[in-house]
Amino acid sequence: MEVTPNHTQTVAGWAAMNESGKVEPFVFKRRENGVDDVTIKVQYCGMCHTDLHFIQNDWGITMYPLVPGHEITGVVTKVGSNVSGFRVGDRVGVGCIAASCLYCDHCRRSEENYCDKVTLTYNGVFWDGSVTYGGYSRMLVAHKRFLVRVPDTLPLDAAAPLLCAGITVYSPMKHHGMLRSPGGSLGVVGLGGLGHVAVKFAKAFGLRVTVISTSPAKEKEAKERLGADHFVVSTDQKQMQAMERSLDYVIDTVSAKHSLGPILELLKVNGKLVLVAAPDQPVELPSFPLIFGKRTVSGSMTGGMKETQEMLDLCGKHNITCDIELVSTDGINEALARLARNDVRYRFVIDIAGDSNSKL
Ligand code: NAP
Ligand code: ZN
């Protein structure tokens, strides 16, 4: 990629220094704004469970200091001379990807997320050898290819989680034809950041939605606020058995180790389960519910850039935003602790620029 290797700009952010599960103020350098780059004043950054996995080194791949954050919205402050689509003042978003090769078959099809040279927005190794730092920071330099527009109708805070949670569920829903199956039935396992957006997309496209949750307290909101048709408590065997062979599709967003067996039983014959969650331990995949129902299990990782823009435009059209709890930069550690104990409705978003009256 034709971007400058000169890391000359000083930026204030928040970083995890070790596996303690906390972040602290951290000053670091970003590259100068190259000809293909756009500089953004970060306004908001969503707190994805992936941030927590990385902060705690759940997957054993964290490079400290780690500046997390890949659900970033903000305003353009600088554009390089090769950039035509963006202007100073534009409302933009950055998701999970900082760079890819731009030339392989996947990149040509705008499946940059599946490029084998993909560099993630944080904890990635950039082409010049530097480690990428994410959106828990006041300013970001992005290559123009990895930047999207936030429609004017969407608020920058409640739109921020669409950059990861939104595209991560939208992409497999589109790929597996769910968005063209009005009347079809979808089960959403785990009603957190990803799960609650999946419910909203599914309802916007006319699917019948069953939430499968460990939290009975979420039932009322799931139905009344998010529009879910059914709610099943996954630890209640009777409720689970009553739902067997009833669903066309399932999206699994459970961040902790679990068995896919009882979930697969909920699928009709030939039903499809998409695993987007990334627990630190392998999930259990018993063969009987697979073979007796000719069922399919697949995975999916975020989405490509064209698809991300398409998803945001659809959200603008259907007025889909995330249900968020706004967090001040002083409240990040408290929010991380609450995220770890599954106490969030349904996404924390950090008010990086401090423009709003954050509650935490
Ligand atoms: P989240 O907001 O914490 O939601 C996860 C949900 O899983 C919780 O709300 C909870 O739902 C359920 N859950 C949590 N602990 C559980 C346990 N011990 N047993 C059963 N259920 C449990 O997380 P998120 O941000 O949506 O992310 C979910 C997962 O997707 C994470 O592993 C994350 O790393 C991964 N992810 C993957 C991609 C990708 O590209 N594939 C992108 C983003 C995130 P209930 O209370 O309803 O049970
Ligand atoms: Zn994420």
pLDDT (tens digit per residue) in 142-182: 999 999 999 999 999 999 999 999 999 999 999 999 999 99
Q: Which fold has domain 166-299?
A: Rossmann fold (3.40.50)
Instruction: Report the pLDDT value the prediction gives residue 190, as an integer from 0 to 100.
Output: 98
Instruction: Report the pLDDT value the prediction gives residue 1, as an integer from 0 to 100.
Output: 58
pLDDT tier for residue 127 given thresholds of 50, 70 and 90 = confident
Phi, psi of 141 (to 5 degrees): -110, 125
- Pocket probe for ligand 1: among 171, 213, 254, 283, the residue whose CB has the most ligand atoms within 8 Å is 254
Instruction: Report the pLDDT value the prediction gives residue 360, as an integer from 0 to 100.
Output: 59
pLDDT tens, residue by residue, 13-66:
999 999 999 999 999 999 999 999 999 999 999 999 999 999 999 999 999 999
Instruction: Report the pLDDT value the prediction gives residue 78, as an integer from 0 to 100.
Output: 98
Residue-range domain boundaries for the chain: 9-164+323-351, 166-299
Residues with CB under 6 A from ligand 1: 48-50, 53, 164-165, 168, 190-195, 213-215, 218, 253-256, 258, 276-279, 300-302, 339, 342
Which ligand lies nearest to the CA atom of residue 114 in the structure? 1
pLDDT tens, residue by residue, 209-260:
999 999 999 999 999 999 999 999 999 999 999 999 999 999 999 999 999 9
Q: In what order do the strands lie in the sheet with 185-189?
A: 230-233, 208-213, 185-189, 247-252, 267-275, 296-299
pLDDT tens, residue by residue, 264-299:
999 999 999 999 999 999 999 999 999 999 999 999
Instruction: Report the pLDDT value the prediction gives residue 356, as an integer from 0 to 100.
Output: 72
If you measure from the C-alpha of residue 238 to the centroid of ligand 2, how many angstroms do you get, rounded to a whole number?
33
Which ligand lies nearest to the CA atom of residue 283 in the structure? 1
If you measure from the C-alpha of residue 291 to the centroid of ligand 2, how many angstroms do you get, rounded to a whole number?
32
- Per-residue pLDDT, averaged over 89-117, amounts to 98
Name which of 20, 13, 16 is nearest 45 in CA terms. Answer: 13
> How many C-beta atoms lie closer than 10 Å to residue 359's C-beta?
10
> Does the pLDDT value for residue 359 go beyond 70?
no
> How many C-beta atoms lie closer than 10 Å to residue 175's C-beta?
14
| CA atoms lying within 13 Å on the CB side of residue 2 | 9
Instruction: Report the pLDDT value the prediction gives residue 291, as an integer from 0 to 100.
Output: 97
If you measure from the C-alpha of residue 287 to the centroid of ligand 1, how many angstroms do you get, rounded to a whole number?
24
Euclidean distance between the first and the last CA atom of the chain, given in angstroms as a whole number: 40
CATH numeric code, 9-164+323-351: 3.90.180.10
If you measure from the C-alpha of residue 124 to the centroid of ligand 2, how many angstroms do you get, rounded to a whole number?
14
> Does the pLDDT value for residue 303 go beyond 60?
yes
Name which of 70, 66, 67, 35 is nearest 49 in CA terms. Answer: 70
Q: Which residue has the tokens 């199956």?
A: 181
Instruction: Kindly report the protein residue whose alpha carbon is nearest to atom 18 of ligand 1.
Output: 256
pLDDT tens, residue by residue, 62-83:
999 999 999 999 999 999 999 9
Exposed e or buried b per residue across 258-287, where buried means at least 16 C-beta atoms within 10 angstroms of its C-beta:
bebebbbbbbbeebbbbbbbebeeebeeee
Instruction: Report the pLDDT value the prediction gives residue 128, as an integer from 0 to 100.
Output: 87
- Per-residue pLDDT, averaged over 327-336, amounts to 98
By the CB criterion, residues less than 5 angstroms from ion ligand 2 are 48, 50, 164
Q: Model-level pTM?
A: 0.97
Which tokens sit at 330?
């002083």
